[in-house]
Amino acid sequence: MPRVALRGAMSAYEALVARVRRMTALRDAAEVLAWDQQVMMPTGGVEARAAQLAALSATMHEILVSPEFGRLLAEAEREERDEARRAVLRELRFFYDRETKVPGELVEAMSNAASRGYEAWVEAKAKSDYKAFRPHLERLLELKRKYASLVDPNVAPYEALFQDYEPWIPLADARRNLTELRAGLKPLVEKARARGAQRPAVLAGSWPAEKQEVVSKRVAELIGYDFTRGRLDRSPHPFSAGGAHDARITTRYYDHDPVPSILGTVHEAGHAMYMQGLPKEHMGTPLGDARDLVVHESQSRLWENHVGRSLPFWERVLPMLREAFDGAPRASAEEVWRAVNHVEPSFIRVDADELTYHMHIALRFELEEAMVAGKLSLDELPHRWNETMQRDLGITPPDDARGCLQDMHWSSGSFGYFPTYSLGSMLSAQLMDAYPGDPNDYPSLLQWLRDNVHRHGKRYKTGELIERATGSALTPHAFLRYANEKYARVWAA
């Protein structure tokens, strides 16, 4: 048995995990390089960095598609009975099957189409020229349909794509939840429109970035972000990156308003605190990795919305702002809190409030599912976008730049990503309901999340993780109850 001899005394599982650890270390290296590219790299570095990332990704792919990897995986699946090990194998099997079912040429074609699509989108958005972007969208849809038919021929193509972002929530469940969420939020959004209030101008002024940065760092520390295992920098698009040992965040600063950098920091710190809470002893295997996008987003949104948009939070952050900005703002914590929670239909998803946000997601979900299924002609997309927005939010975008061209997701073929944002919000509310302690005791809240979510990594499928943590399946009820109660208070005279 030369194969056994080669791996010495290691079981198939151990030999497999050695390969997985190597692959994960290379993936983590690529993530540091991607962070550096966004935050530190000089403009001239693009070409060399692309070569580095391509070398890493080719190497990871080769580890996975080597015949030995498949054999070890199958052998370990036959041998292992331990529950944790079987969880590792379940996750590896999912990933392995996806990666090995897609021929290299299709991967390359998707990657090229995504690069070209992104570039075309940047230009098309700047000129609000949907026609220029349309052929790229068509090509991306075509390739992604092909991809979907290969990775999971047993489900509709859109479901196969959704699984890339959320492998363990059936699309039917997601759809039912999203539909219920939209219906439940409709009356609240109507109410906000009927009130017709303007956002209070309590934060007007000039807010230099350097001072905002000081406040952002204090706020991140306040909620429990560990700077010995992370750092806060600036980037045009805020993001988080890394793992348990080193989970970094970025934010951006607007001179006219200090709130976006604070809530952006809290959001990204939410993601990063999840990573910081992953079990270090499992570094390099799925047990040491974050569950997928829905759970990740539940963490960022829990801290951003349930904590960062609460009155007690602003009672604590206001003195920090005043210390940094010579006494400004003069408004009371309650006034700032009301401003932060202002609800008003608007065109741009990323600027939307906590309620209308989900109308933006519902719209994208509806349209992208129809596009992937070939039920929505691309000629019709801008019109359908505007029509749906008028139906759900009562406003019509003045141009496609503020309509169907606003998000970058589709430009690189990310169909099926949007729903995870709203599903994450639902889960935040469920987790807050399940948490038995004082919501304003951040160390206690963080510890509860560590115990009930973070420390499990990918040990449980998403549904099981949610049931274990909250006592029920994923549902929009907690979020709707939270929203109704909260806005009754916000809107009380």
Active site residues: 268
Q: Which residues pair with 250 in a beta bridge?
A: 233
Q: How far is the CB of 231 from a second copy (least distance, A)?
A: 6
Instruction: Single out the residue of 8, 9, 47, 78 in contact with a second copy (rule: CB under 8 A).
Output: 47
**Per rule CB under 8 A, is residue 42 in the interface with a second copy?**
yes
Q: Looking at beta carbons only, is 42 or 327 nearer to a second copy?
A: 42
Contact between residue 425 and residue 480 where contact means Cβ atoms under 8 Å apart:
no
Q: Looking at beta carbons only, is 45 or 135 nearer to a second copy?
A: 45
DSSP string, 313-334: HHHHHHHHHHHHTTT---S-HH
CA distances from 37 to 42, 147, 404 (A): 8, 28, 28
Q: Looking at beta carbons only, is 19 or 93 nearer to a second copy?
A: 19
Task: DSSP letter for 227, please.
Answer: G
**Per rule CB under 8 A, is residue 171 in the interface with a second copy?**
no
Instruction: Single out the residue of 59, 346, 444, 484 in contact with a second copy (rule: CB under 8 A).
Output: 59
**Per rule CB under 8 A, is residue 350 in the interface with a second copy?**
no
Of the candidate spans 30-38, 150-158, 323-331, 395-403, the one that interacts with a second copy by CB under 8 A turns out to be: 30-38
Q: How far is the CB of 450 from a second copy (least distance, A)?
A: 16
Beta strand 246-251 with 232-234: parallel, antiparallel or unpaired? parallel
Q: In this structure, what token pair is assigned to residue 100?
A: 């090995």
**Per rule CB under 8 A, is residue 231 in the interface with a second copy?**
yes
What residues between 393 and 452 interact with a second copy by CB under 8 A? none
**Per rule CB under 8 A, is residue 44 in the interface with a second copy?**
yes
**Per rule CB under 8 A, is residue 56 in the interface with a second copy?**
yes
x-or-dash pattern for a second copy, window 246-265, by CB under 8 A? x-x-----------------
Instruction: Single out the residue of 32, 328, 370, 490 in contact with a second copy (rule: CB under 8 A).
Output: 32
**Per rule CB under 8 A, is residue 156 in the interface with a second copy?**
no
Contact between residue 175 and residue 327 where contact means Cβ atoms under 8 Å apart:
no
**Per rule CB under 8 A, is residue 6 in the interface with a second copy?**
no
**Per rule CB under 8 A, is residue 41 in the interface with a second copy?**
yes
Q: How many residues bind a second copy (CB under 8 A)?
A: 41
Residue 366 burial by CB count (10 A; 0-12/13-18/19+): exposed, middle or buried? Answer: buried
* Burial state string for 138-157 with b = 16 or more CB within 10 A and e = fewer than 16: ebbbebbbebbeebbeeeeb
Q: Which residues pair with 331 in a beta bridge?
A: none
Q: How many CB atoms lie within 10 A of CB 225?
A: 25
Of the candidate spans 171-179, 228-236, 319-327, 351-359, the one that interacts with a second copy by CB under 8 A turns out to be: 228-236
Q: What stretches of 341-405 show up as alpha helix (H) in DSSP?
A: 357-372, 381-393
Distance from C-alpha of 48 to C-alpha of 187, rounded to nearest angstrom: 53
**Per rule CB under 8 A, is residue 22 in the interface with a second copy?**
yes
Q: How far is the CB of 293 from a second copy (least distance, A)?
A: 22
**Per rule CB under 8 A, is residue 49 in the interface with a second copy?**
yes
CA distances from 252 to 3, 67, 235, 286 (A): 53, 46, 6, 31
What element of type H or E holds 258? none
Q: Looking at beta carbons only, is 33 or 328 nearer to a second copy?
A: 33
Q: Which amino acid makes up residue 302?
A: L
Q: Looking at beta carbons only, is 17 or 203 nearer to a second copy?
A: 17
Distance from C-alpha of 156 to C-alpha of 101, rounded to nearest angstrom: 17
Q: How far is the CB of 73 from a second copy (least distance, A)?
A: 20
x-or-dash pattern for a second copy, window 65-104, by CB under 8 A? ----------------------------------------
**Per rule CB under 8 A, is residue 19 in the interface with a second copy?**
no
- The residues near 11 (Cβ < 8 Å, ≥ 6 apart) are 76, 79
Q: Which residues bind a second copy (CB under 8 A)?
A: 21-22, 25-26, 28-30, 32-33, 36, 40-49, 51-52, 54-56, 58-59, 226-231, 243-246, 248, 280, 283-284
